[in-house]
């Protein structure tokens, strides 16, 4: 098997065994997870997890989500308020059009609800498994073609194959953007206790290099990153207007609220 990002060979990286409940129970018949890392781009995957049968993978996800819900545990939850603020700032400055955007695999629509209640903004949600009570925010799969930009929050780290990444990108038109919240760093730490590897359902870990390769493959030219929202926005064009507006926003807030770069904003260099 080769890297699903750049197709270079992958090598064994580390093994992780769950010894504490509840994960030790969820993983009992699966055993330790072996992670493999690409020798070129550093993209790392939980090979044991991605090799599971579809049925076993669904069961692991179901165990994990039920545990999270029952215990009201907030494991690596996205910073919804900061994400909503970031989207509002971008929208007010005409950098993005929220009406053309869909939150892909948006689950229970937590971000959309925060945006609606506190910012009076509508963010459509698509989720293959969830259709919440607030039906008006959910869009069916056949309507995805009506959107030109995509938002994915806490999703990239759960994807098990290349097609799943491409399906997200396929929504984006030439003038659209891709909003991403996940952890992306220079080098994946060689440490089975690394916080992002803690949930067994996290099986895909991007690096700055693998993201730059994806941007090139998908034809994105520039990106911005908002540290407090822990989110990136990738743009198909390197429009000088975006850079000018980012400078203006930063001077208004008198802080480097947004970072702009041609290519991928490689903000995180280590942990
Ligand atoms: Zn690679």
> How far, in Å, is the centroid of ligand 1 from the Cα of 204?
12
Across all residues in the chain, what is the average pLDDT? 95
> How far, in Å, is the centroid of ligand 1 from the Cα of 29?
30
Contact between 170 and 150 under an 8 Å Cβ cutoff? The reply is no
> How far, in Å, is the centroid of ligand 1 from the Cα of 214?
10
> How far, in Å, is the centroid of ligand 1 from the Cα of 145?
30
CATH 3.30.70 given to domain 10-262? no
More confident residue, 70 or 165: 165
- In this model, does residue 135 exceed pLDDT 80? no
> How far, in Å, is the centroid of ligand 1 from the Cα of 127?
28
For residue 271, name the pLDDT band (cuts at 50, 70, 90): low
For residue 227, name the pLDDT band (cuts at 50, 70, 90): very high
Contact between 108 and 130 under an 8 Å Cβ cutoff? The reply is yes
- Predicted confidence at residue 133, as pLDDT, reads 63
- Predicted confidence at residue 145, as pLDDT, reads 96
- Predicted confidence at residue 132, as pLDDT, reads 61
Mean pLDDT of 22-50: 97
- Predicted confidence at residue 42, as pLDDT, reads 98
Q: Quick one: what percent of the chain has pLDDT higher than 70? A: 96
- In this model, does residue 9 exceed pLDDT 80? yes
Closest CA to 119 of 70, 85, 74: 85
Contact between 190 and 42 under an 8 Å Cβ cutoff? The reply is no
> How far, in Å, is the centroid of ligand 1 from the Cα of 259?
25
> How far, in Å, is the centroid of ligand 1 from the Cα of 42?
6
Q: Quick one: what percent of the chain has pLDDT higher than 90? A: 90
Place of tokens 């509002």: 88
> How far, in Å, is the centroid of ligand 1 from the Cα of 5?
5
> How far, in Å, is the centroid of ligand 1 from the Cα of 185?
14
Please, which residues have CB within 8 angstroms of residue 139's CB and are 6 or more apart in sequence? Answer: 102, 124, 125, 126, 146, 147
CA 224 – CA 152 distance, rounded (Å): 15
- In this model, does residue 18 exceed pLDDT 70? yes
For residue 87, name the pLDDT band (cuts at 50, 70, 90): very high
> How far, in Å, is the centroid of ligand 1 from the Cα of 37?
8
Helix (H, G, I), strand (E, B) or coil at 55: helix
CA 62 – CA 83 distance, rounded (Å): 26
Which chain residues have CB less than 5 Å from ligand 1, an ion?
3, 5-6, 8, 38, 40-41, 43
Query: Of 24-38, 131-145, 162-176, 216-230, where does mean pLDDT reach its minimum?
Result: 131-145
pLDDT tens for residues 185-202? 999 999 999 999 999 999
């Amino acid at each position: 098997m080769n890297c699903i990002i750049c197709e270079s060979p992958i090598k064994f990286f580390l093994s992780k065994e769950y010894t504490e409940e509840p994960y030790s129970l969820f993983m009992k018949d699966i055993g330790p997870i072996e992670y493999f890392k690409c020798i070129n781009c550093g993209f790392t995957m939980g090979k044991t997890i991605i090799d599971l049968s579809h049925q076993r993978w669904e069961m692991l996800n179901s165990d994990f989500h039920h545990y999270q819900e029952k215990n009201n545990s907030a494991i690596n939850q996205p910073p919804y308020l900061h994400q909503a603020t970031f989207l509002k700032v971008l929208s007010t400055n005409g950098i993005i059009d929220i009406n053309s955007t869909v939150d892909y695999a948006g689950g229970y629509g937590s971000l959309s609800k925060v945006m609606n209640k506190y910012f009076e903004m509508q963010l459509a949600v698509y989720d293959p498994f969830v259709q919440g009570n607030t039906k008006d925010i959910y869009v069916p799969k056949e309507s995805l073609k009506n959107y030109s930009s995509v938002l994915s929050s806490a999703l990239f780290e759960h994807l098990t194959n290349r097609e799943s990444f491409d399906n997200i990108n396929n929504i984006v038109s030439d003038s659209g953007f891709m909003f991403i919240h996940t952890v992306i760093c220079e080098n994946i730490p060689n440490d089975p206790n690394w916080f992002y590897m803690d949930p067994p359902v996290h099986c895909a870990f991007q690096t700055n290099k693998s993201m730059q390769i994806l941007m090139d493959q998908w034809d994105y030219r520039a990106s911005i990153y908002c540290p407090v929202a822990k989110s990136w926005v990738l743009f198909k064009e390197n429009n000088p207007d975006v850079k000018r507006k980012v400078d203006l926003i930063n001077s208004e807030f008198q802080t480097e609220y947004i970072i702009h770069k041609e290519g991928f904003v490689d903000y995180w260099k280590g942990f």
